[in-house]
Amino acid sequence: MNNAEIVELAHANLVNNYGCMPLAFVRGHGAYLYDADGNRYLDFFCGLAVTSLGHGHPRIVAAIKQQAEKLTHASNVFHTEPMARLAARIVGAFGDGRVFFANSGAEANEAALKLARRWGHAKGGRFEIISTLGSFHGRTFGTLSATGQEKYHEGFQPLVPGFKLVPYDDIGAIERAIDPKTAAIMVEPIQGEGGVVMPRPDYLARLRQVCDRAQLLLIVDEVQTGMGRTGKLFGYQHSGIKPDIITLAKALGGGIPIGAMVARSEVAAVMTPGTHGSTFGGNPVACAAALGVFDALEQDGLIANAAEIGQYLITRLREIARECPDVRDVRGQGMIIGIALKHAAKPVVDACFRERLIVNGTADTILRLLPPLILTKEEAEAGLGIIERALRAEAGTAGA
Ligand SMILES: *Cc1c(COP(=O)(O)O)cnc(C)c1O
């Protein structure tokens, strides 16, 4: 089937909840994707920060194939080796802790919220979760209630009670919001979907202090920032603290759906048999893929590459921005980069797309780059050239 045929068939039968681009991808290799008409695209999007090792990474492909031939599902009534090994790998990186496996970011966050409530109830009936405006934590009712963006709430009210939203990067606002019912604070190290919003460098460290003082859990949503995206394995590691709970998904499975909640052992202990679960959680094929991701990150030096090439992209984009009056700000860390524009990002996204570079717009005016951690300097240059031309072409034409 070609692009048009696939798009037509999809439109005729799918719920129309995505503003989909009118094309279909059929294969990928490294930093490149190929559509159903045979066109090649440079991928600075990674399917929303998921395929961080690029497409068709041999370690991940081999891990999936080998596991698929052996066993694809057993359920959490039993143990499997990939799940046991992956949990050990994640705990090895987090330090003291325990892992719960889910299948998506929302489910990992849902588990974190449920754990925080259960922990709070055991501490004298505390249940409230404080999260931040501009945040994104998922689309289930619980995670939607923690998400600080009204556009996602529209038409779905009433939301789950027991959530409070405060401005991001504002310690005073958090302190004022804490009351005797508060159990936890939930934040992203960088607000990804909210527009690559970077807090001050000491934000997480100060949140840690606030949580220690008030005996609250600090939940750090690493669904987008985790697995090397920021130039460290986890985004919080830039701040020198340890959260009580982190959540992972997106890049964890290298393209296979998997989510994980990781909690300090003492906190995790309030989840006893029967309190929470997921039929597919910890699926052996997904866990094998994630083990392949850990292997590749470690053995191929990909996190260092993400830090280096990411910094190079940011530096070059800032140079380009000096010549583009429509760029307000270039910000980011490692391979999560936002270019804040004075106008809508969509025309620039479209201009890049016409030159076969995939980027993404978020929070209306933010051009977001989420390139694969395997990106070479040459591929970075190719993308930068296209972005520069797109920014120049749209300058003035898009209106203020
Ligand atoms: C994408 C995202 C989620 C939701 O993940 P899903 O897999 O779509 O449920 C949660 N938190 C953050 C920070 C995200 O970027």
Ligand 1 centroid distance, CA of 129 (Å): 18
Of the residues 234, 250, 294, 326, only one is catalytic, namely 250
Last residue of a domain, one of 299, 330, 358: 299
| Residue burial 251-286, b: 16+ Cβ < 10 Å; e: rest | bbbbbbbbbbbbbbeebbebbeeeebebebbbbbbb
28 and 112 belong to one structural domain: no
How far, rounded to the nearest angstrom, does the alpha carbon of residue 124 sit from its chain's CA centroid?
A: 33
How sure is the predictor about 395, in pLDDT bands with cuts at 50, 70 and 90? confident
Does residue 162 sit in helix, strand or coil?
Answer: coil
pLDDT, tens digit (0-9, with 9 covering 90-100), for 319-335: 999 999 999 999 999 99
Is 232 a catalytic site residue? Answer: no
pLDDT over threshold 50, residue 179:
yes
pLDDT, tens digit (0-9, with 9 covering 90-100), for 94-153: 999 999 999 999 999 999 999 999 999 999 999 999 999 999 999 999 999 999 999 999
Mean pLDDT confidence for 256-275? 98
94 and 49 belong to one structural domain: no
CA–CA gap between residue 251 and residue 243 (Å, rounded)? 20
Ligand 1 centroid distance, CA of 147 (Å): 10
Is 136 a catalytic site residue? Answer: yes
Q: What is the pLDDT of residue 396?
A: 61
CATH code for the domain in which residue 393 is found: 3.90.1150.10
Mean pLDDT confidence for 308-323? 97
CA–CA gap between residue 242 and residue 236 (Å, rounded)? 7
Q: What is the pLDDT of residue 400?
A: 41
Percent of the chain with pLDDT over 90: 97
Ligand 1 centroid distance, CA of 109 (Å): 8
Choose among 105, 4, 124: nearest CA to 49: 105
Print the domain residue range for 151: 59-299
Of the residues 221, 234, 244, 294, only one is catalytic, namely 221
CA–CA gap between residue 281 and residue 272 (Å, rounded)? 16
Ligand 1 centroid distance, CA of 225 (Å): 10
For a pocket test of ligand 1, which of 250, 278, 360, 366 has the largest count of ligand atoms closer than 8 A to its C-beta? 250
Q: What is the pLDDT of residue 394?
A: 79
Of the residues 25, 101, 127, 136, only one is catalytic, namely 136
Domain count, the chain: 2
Out of 58-62, 198-202, 378-382, 394-398, pick the least confident: 394-398
Last residue of a domain, one of 299, 328, 345: 299
221 and 337 belong to one structural domain: no
Choose among 235, 237, 248, 227: nearest CA to 51: 227
328 and 294 belong to one structural domain: no
Mean pLDDT confidence for 171-196? 98
CATH code for the domain in which residue 233 is found: 3.40.640.10
**Tokens of residue 323, six digits:** 């010549």
49 and 75 belong to one structural domain: no
**Tokens of residue 383, six digits:** 């993308």
133 and 170 belong to one structural domain: yes
pLDDT over threshold 50, residue 399:
no
Q: What is the pLDDT of residue 19?
A: 87
Specify the residue with its C-alpha closest to ligand 1, atom 5: 105
Q: To which H or E segment does residue 384 belong?
A: helix 377-394
pTM comes to 0.97
CA–CA gap between residue 117 and residue 109 (Å, rounded)? 12
245 and 325 belong to one structural domain: no
Last residue of a domain, one of 299, 330, 365: 299
291 and 305 belong to one structural domain: no
Ligand 1 pocket at CB < 6 A? 104-106, 109, 136-138, 188, 192-193, 221, 223-224, 249-250
| Residue 222 alpha carbon, nearest atom of ligand 1 | 13
Q: What is the pLDDT of residue 176?
A: 98
278 and 315 belong to one structural domain: no
Q: Compute the mean pLDDT over every residue in the chain, rounded to the nearest whole number.
A: 97
207 and 218 belong to one structural domain: yes
Strands 25-29 and 32-35: antiparallel
Distant-in-sequence contacts of 267-276, Cβ < 8 A, 24+ apart: 267/115, 267/119, 267/217, 268/97, 268/98, 268/100, 268/115, 270/115, 270/118, 270/119, 270/122, 271/100, 271/115, 271/118, 275/118, 276/100, 276/111, 276/114, 276/115
Q: What is the pLDDT of residue 397?
A: 63
pLDDT, tens digit (0-9, with 9 covering 90-100), for 337-385: 999 999 999 999 999 999 999 999 999 999 999 999 999 999 999 999 9
pLDDT, tens digit (0-9, with 9 covering 90-100), for 48-102: 999 999 999 999 999 999 999 999 999 999 999 999 999 999 999 999 999 999 9
Is 202 a catalytic site residue? Answer: no
282 and 320 belong to one structural domain: no
| DSSP annotation of 126 | -
197 and 187 belong to one structural domain: yes
Ligand 1 centroid distance, CA of 362 (Å): 14
Choose among 382, 329, 378: nearest CA to 358: 382
